[in-house]
């Protein structure tokens, strides 16, 4: 067991004025400003010109997870002591992730007639009946949807959803009854604009309850400029959980429990990453678009290291057991495995198990002092004070994060999910 970082979370605090928070998106995705840092601020531009800041033969890795309409509202009639209806009240169910029986996420989204999710419930004290019910009209027929609490653990609820139409999947049902879950600080109703703009243009794999926001700035015109400069694009999947919104409530970061999230990476994408990280291709950088892509790519290295470690211990790992715990990167760092060896071990394991797409869970937590194994740069937004995301920035730029954020605040950059962003080159 190796030393956990006991950094004081207060050291990663800063004052974020309300007027610097972007509550709505920029007129065009690529209009958002972009600050470029390489040991110092070296450029200030917009995302429409990001290709000018990246050398040819670079590979950008994007998170193609799609935000689901995870907020479901049920109207509940409240009763007085005489069992008479007195008013309507709304109970909100926020789907966080499917239960183990319905994982991976794709299985839950394709489920018909019944599925179970771990949820947050707004107005849970008002939910006194065995189930909630609503009826919708679709394709000239009525569909009855019911939600039933089956258990409660650590403030979260296990909710079983049932519906009486076997031709409709849970994915389709959410599009009919759910709402896109905007970040909690955007305290307003979801608009038609949000349905489009709080989703990347390349979103494909359903499962996130928050957008991988660094990718919100990329549109077709930006991708065309990248391609024209021979800059490659690849896609990984990390289904963003609600934990990304959760503030760190402990004094030191070693006491914080990092949320676990599902990642999905195709064998072909792993091959591209192996090619990009060959020593002979050292001038071909790997750039993660978003902290979710960064954590996915770095997790691949540590999953490979973990497999090597377990093999030495003659421990077999089946396809449902491969996962990365919060501090595995610290506990395994002494092994000094090369990136090629780690990625090859992961590829060999997939081949042996006849798996074309890696599906695993990662709790990887990146804090100052972390050594980046695969990523050479990060494209990301400006993050909330005292957040695990800000710790990632500090891991890249050190104490300079304070002056960078002060510069951004002074120069009217827009912060958080709908805001502007940065391109940080990682010191190698």
**Per-residue pLDDT tens digits of the chain, which is 428 residues long:** 567 889 999 999 999 999 999 999 999 999 999 999 999 999 999 999 999 999 999 999 999 999 999 999 998 754 444 444 445 678 999 999 999 999 889 999 999 999 999 999 998 888 988 889 999 998 888 999 999 999 998 889 999 999 999 999 999 999 999 999 999 899 888 999 999 999 999 999 999 999 999 999 999 999 999 999 999 999 999 999 877 767 788 999 999 999 899 999 999 999 999 998 876 666 789 999 999 999 999 999 999 999 999 988 878 787 777 899 999 999 999 999 999 999 999 999 999 999 999 999 999 999 999 999 999 999 999 999 999 999 999 999 999 999 999 999 999 999 999 999 999 999 87
CB 79 within 8 A of CB 86: yes
Q: What is the pLDDT of residues 251-265, one digit of tens each?
A: 999 999 998 999 999
Beta bridge partners, 71, equal 94, 179
Show the domains of the chain with their CATH numbers. 9-67+198-425 (3.40.1780.10), 71-179 (no CATH)
CA distances for 385 relative to 5, 174, 211, 246, angstroms: 18, 32, 19, 12
pLDDT value for 81: 46
Sign of CA dihedral 189, 380, 358, 304: negative
pLDDT at residue number 4: 84
pLDDT tens by residue, 102-123? 988 999 999 999 999 999 999 8
In order of 34, 178, 248, 298, the CA distances from 323 in angstroms are 34, 30, 23, 13
CA–CA separation, 67 and 195 (whole Å): 9
What is the pLDDT, as a whole number, of residue 86?
43
With helix as H, strand as E and coil as C, how does 372-393 read? CCCCCEEEEECCCCCCHHHHHH
- State the DSSP code for 272: H
Q: What is the pTM of this model?
A: 0.93
User: Contact 54/287 with Cβ under 8 angstroms?
Assistant: yes
Q: What is the predicted pLDDT for the residue at 165?
A: 92
How confident is the model at residue 248, as a pLDDT?
Answer: 87
């Amino acid at each position: 067991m190796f030393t956990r970082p006991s950094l004081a979370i207060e050291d990663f605090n800063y004052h974020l004025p309300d007027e610097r928070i972007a509550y709505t998106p920029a007129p065009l995705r690529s209009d958002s400003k972009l600050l470029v840092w390489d040991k110092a601020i070296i450029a200030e531009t917009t995302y429409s010109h990001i290709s000018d800041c990246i050398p040819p033969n670079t590979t950008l890795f994007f998170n193609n997870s799609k935000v689901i309409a995870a907020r479901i509202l049920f109207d509940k009639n409240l009763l007085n002591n005489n069992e008479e209806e007195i008013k309507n009240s709304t109970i909100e169910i926020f789907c966080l992730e499917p239960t183990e029986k319905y994982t991976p996420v794709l299985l839950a989204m394709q489920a018909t007639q019944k599925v179970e999710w771990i949820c947050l419930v707004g107005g849970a004290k008002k939910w006194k009946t065995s189930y909630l019910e609503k009826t919708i009209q679709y394709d000239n027929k009525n569909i009855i949807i019911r939600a039933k609490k089956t258990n409660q653990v650590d403030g979260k609820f296990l909710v079983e959803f049932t519906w009486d139409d076997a031709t409709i999947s849970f994915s389709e049902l959410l599009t009919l009854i759910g709402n896109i879950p905007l970040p909690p600080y955007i305290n307003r109703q979801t608009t038609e604009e949000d349905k489009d703009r709080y989703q990347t243009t390349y979103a494909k794999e359903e499962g996130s309850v928050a957008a991988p926001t660094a990718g919100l700035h990329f549109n077709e015109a930006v991708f065309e400029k990248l391609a024209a400069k021979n800059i490659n694009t690849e896609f990984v999947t990390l289904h963003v959980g609600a934990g990304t919104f959760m503030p760190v409530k402990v004094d030191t970061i070693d006491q914080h429990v990092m949320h676990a999230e599902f990642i999905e990476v195709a064998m072909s994408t792993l091959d591209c990453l192996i090619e990009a990280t060959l020593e002979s291709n050292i001038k071909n950088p790997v750039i993660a678009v978003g902290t979710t892509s960064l954590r996915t790519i770095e997790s691949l290295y540590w999953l490979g290291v973990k497999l090597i470690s377990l093999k030495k211990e003659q421990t077999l790992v089946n396809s449902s057991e491969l996962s990365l715990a919060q501090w595995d990167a610290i506990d395994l760092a002494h092994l000094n495995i090369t990136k090629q060896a780690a990625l090859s071990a992961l590829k060999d394991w997939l081949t042996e198990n006849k798996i074309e797409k890696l599906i695993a869970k990662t709790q990887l937590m990146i804090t100052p002092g972390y050594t980046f194994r695969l990523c050479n740069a990060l494209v990301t937004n400006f993050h909330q004070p005292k957040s695990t995301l800000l710790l990632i920035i500090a891991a890249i730029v050190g104490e300079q994060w304070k002056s960078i954020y002060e510069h951004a605040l002074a120069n009217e950059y827009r912060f958080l999910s709908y805001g502007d962003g940065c391109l940080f080159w990682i010191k190698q």
